[in-house]
Amino acid sequence: MLLRIVLVEPQHPGNIGAVARVMANFGISDLALVNGCEVTDDSYARSKSGRPVLENLKRFETMKEALADCDIAVATSGIKPKGDKRWFRAPKNVKKINKILEDREKPALVFGRENYGLYKEELALCETTVTISTNPEYPILNLSHAVGIVLYEIKRKVKVKGPKKRKSVSQEEFERLVDRIMEMLEDSSYPRRKLARSKTTLRRLVSRGNPDEGEYENLMGIFKAIKEGKRDEN
């Protein structure tokens, strides 16, 4: 498994360094930042053995770009999102993280802002959410501590090393498959008011199926044929 840690708009340079240090502790080297503060001397001072992680980190302007080559995105949250709960599943306990990542080749763990976490729209880009059991009166952990706890749970049972033979679709291919199905729904008599919520449900279903590249190509071919219409028997 090749694991990526994604930090969305981190606010404190020191926290980025502390995350890099924790990643080095668990043998993880792929760190991605979505906007956020700059890496400074304070970052390097707190990174210790994680300095190479900082030197090779990747920067992205959007979360979607950061997840493009990953085959599943798992959000982390210390609080439940407000609003229409039908848009979101209840967060799973972090102890279930290995079951979530089972058979995945390149998963991403997504951590939000220190003061707020992830916005509703960002949570919607992730297939599932995990949470760490804490004091309900003060549920928000320090960023590097949260990363460390999740990586510890993964490291307990999974070797975070080379890729497995089965090659799952990338996040970009996953989005393309979902978009192809949504195009068919939009062209059908399906109620337009239900499209947005149905897309969220569809993303979850496709993610649970975890199609490999061969299955992806087959499905795309099937949906293309359906969209082009009835076979000409002449």
pLDDT per position as a tens digit, 32-80: 999 999 999 999 999 999 999 999 999 999 999 999 999 999 999 876 5
The answer to whether residue 233 is domain-embedded is no
- Structure confidence by residue, pLDDT tens digits, 204-228: 888 888 888 888 889 888 888 887 8
Q: Which domain CATH number covers 152?
A: 3.40.1280.10
Indicate the number of domains in the chain: 2
d(CA 194, CA 108): 29
Note the helical H segments in 79-212: 97-100, 120-123, 143-157, 171-186, 195-209
Residue 16 and residue 45 in one domain: yes
Range of the domain at 210: 171-228
